[in-house]
Amino acid sequence: MGAEGVLLRVEDLRKWFSLRRGLFSSPLILKAVDGVTFSLDKGESISLVGESGSGKTTLGKTVLRLYEPTSGRIVFKGRDVSNLDDDELLWYRRETGLVQQDPYGAMPSFMTIFRILEEPLIIHKAGTKEERREMVFRALEEVRLTPPEDFAFKYPHMLSGGQLQRVAIARALILRPSLVVADEPVSMLDASVRIEILTLMRDLQEKHGISFIYITHDLSTTRYFSERIFIMYAGHLVEQAPSKALVSEPLHPYTQALIEAIPDPDPENRRRLRKVPPGEPPSLINPPPGCRFHPRCPYAMDVCRREEPPMVEVKPGHAVKCWLYAKA
């Protein structure tokens, strides 16, 4: 549960990418994130769920200022970081961490694990050479790569995917950040290893009181990780709710479809068809007008085709962006 107030506030954030089509045509605009507002408390962990093309990864990276927002604000610990330059952002880099999807791609293959973990410390001048060595070994122990000496001087290709992802977590946490964004951290790992890694992240998150944004397409894993779930569709946040509530009482038709689509291991599954909407998420270059889900929504009304619905708090802590719950 979050304590001591708000850590991060994102206000009407938009990130658009312009795709050049050659010398003589005007560029296409891909609206990856198109007006997202939310806040995150200190020590709170949320899951950001969406399918590919929903904009969830772009949102995560924009919050970390790996992209500069096209418009909107990102306020971290009271400071507006939306438009700062790279050199002005150095303190922000220390306060934030990133865990990526591909453990092998996320590591420089020519550096030892020790060097990889040392890099953030060196960049932020965190300690003398001996102190850094201490910190690296402690970081390895914290992610349960023990004994640390066995791992510190290996190269990334010598470790398994799961082990390497632990290194990535250690690297993200080594400067004791306040916010970590984990972008699909377990989707490239074997099923038996996923839970281990998620559990590790959860334990560390609780131990150090770090705020986490856990980005995933797999709704089933979110309950084990976060208190709140945000659902993203086509660049918009469509529902925000506490985890249990979202799964037991999904309000947005898309969320309902998502939940209906996910199988649990049940021999009855083969005897019935799932009721899910047809089609696929829209292109972000030319999203549908009004509510972006309306072409696939079983409940689409006239207003849905014309106007974008507002985000409405239906119950305390449970908000939906849908005309079914808003007054036109």
Partner 1 sequence: MSAPLLEVRNLLLHYGTRKGVVRAVDGVSFTLGAGETLAIVGESGCGKTSLARAIIRLLPRNVHRFEGQVLLDGADVMKLSDEEFRREVQWRKISMVFQAAQNSLNPVLKVGFQVAEPLMVHMGMDREEAIAEARKHLRMVGIHESFADRYPFELSGGMKQRAVIAMALITKPRVVILDEPTSALDVITQANIMNLLKTIKRELGISYIFITHDIALSSELADKVMVMYAGHMVELAGADEFYTKPLHPYSQKLMASVPTLRTDKKLEFIPGAPPSLINPPPGCRFHPRCPYAMDVCRREEPPTVEVKSGHYVKCWLHAGGG
Partner 2 sequence: MSAPGAEFGLKGVVRELLTYKSGIVGLAILGFLVALSLYAVIAIPYGEAIRLWRGQEAMWIDNPRTAAPEWVEIFVGKKLPRTIRLDSRVPGAGVSKAEIPLPGMNMKNIIIEFRFRFDYDELPSEMNLFYFANYSGVPPYIKLVWKKPSGAEFELIRYSLQAPDDRLYVSISDAVLSAALSYYTEKYPVNVSDRVTVLKLLFGRVTPKALESGDFEVEKGEYVLRVEATVFDRKDDLNAKLVVYGTVYGIAGTDHLRRPLEIPLLWGAPIALSFGLTASLITTFLQMMIAVMSGWYGGWVDSLIQRVTELYMIIPFLPFLIMVSVFYKIDIWILLLVVIALSVFGGGIKGTRALVMQLKESPYIEAARAYGASDFRIIFLYIIPKILPPVVPGLIGAVPGYVFLEAGLAFLGLGDPFLPTWGKVINEAYTNGALYRGLYYWVLEPAAMLMLTAFAFAFLGFALDKIVNPRLREL
- Applying CB under 8 A, the residues found at the interface with partner 1 are 51-52, 160, 162, 190-196, 199, 217-221, 223-224, 247, 257-267, 269-270, 273-274, 276-278, 280-281
Tell me how long the chain is: 328
195 binds partner 2 (CB under 8 A): no
C-beta of 182 vs 258, nearer to partner 2: 182
83 binds partner 2 (CB under 8 A): no
Q: How far apart are CA 222 and CA 239, in angstroms?
A: 14
Restricting to residues 215-234, name those near partner 2 by CB under 8 A.
none
| 292's tokens | 């972006």
Rounded (10°) CA dihedral 63, 292, 276, 322:
90
Q: Which of 258, 249, 228, 264 is nearest to 314 (CA)?
A: 249
Tokens 């649990």 belong to 264
155 binds partner 2 (CB under 8 A): yes
String of DSSP letters for 240-251: EEEHHHHHHS--
Q: How far apart are CA 20 and CA 23, in angstroms?
A: 8
Q: How many helices (H) and strands (E) does the chain have?
A: 11, 12
C-beta of 106 vs 215, nearer to partner 2: 106
C-beta of 88 vs 190, nearer to partner 1: 190
CB of 230: closest distance to partner 2 in angstroms?
Answer: 21
C-beta of 111 vs 259, nearer to partner 1: 259
- Binding window for partner 2 (CB under 8 A); candidates: 118-126, 204-212, 242-250, 318-326: 118-126
Beta strands 179-183 and 96-99: pairing type? parallel
User: Which sign does the torsion angle of CA 193, 218, 45, 184 carry?
Assistant: positive
Give the count of residues interacting with partner 2 (CB under 8 A): 36
Residues that bind partner 2 (CB under 8 A): 61, 64, 66, 86, 89-90, 93-94, 96-98, 100-102, 104-110, 119-120, 123-124, 155-158, 160-161, 168, 171-172, 175, 188
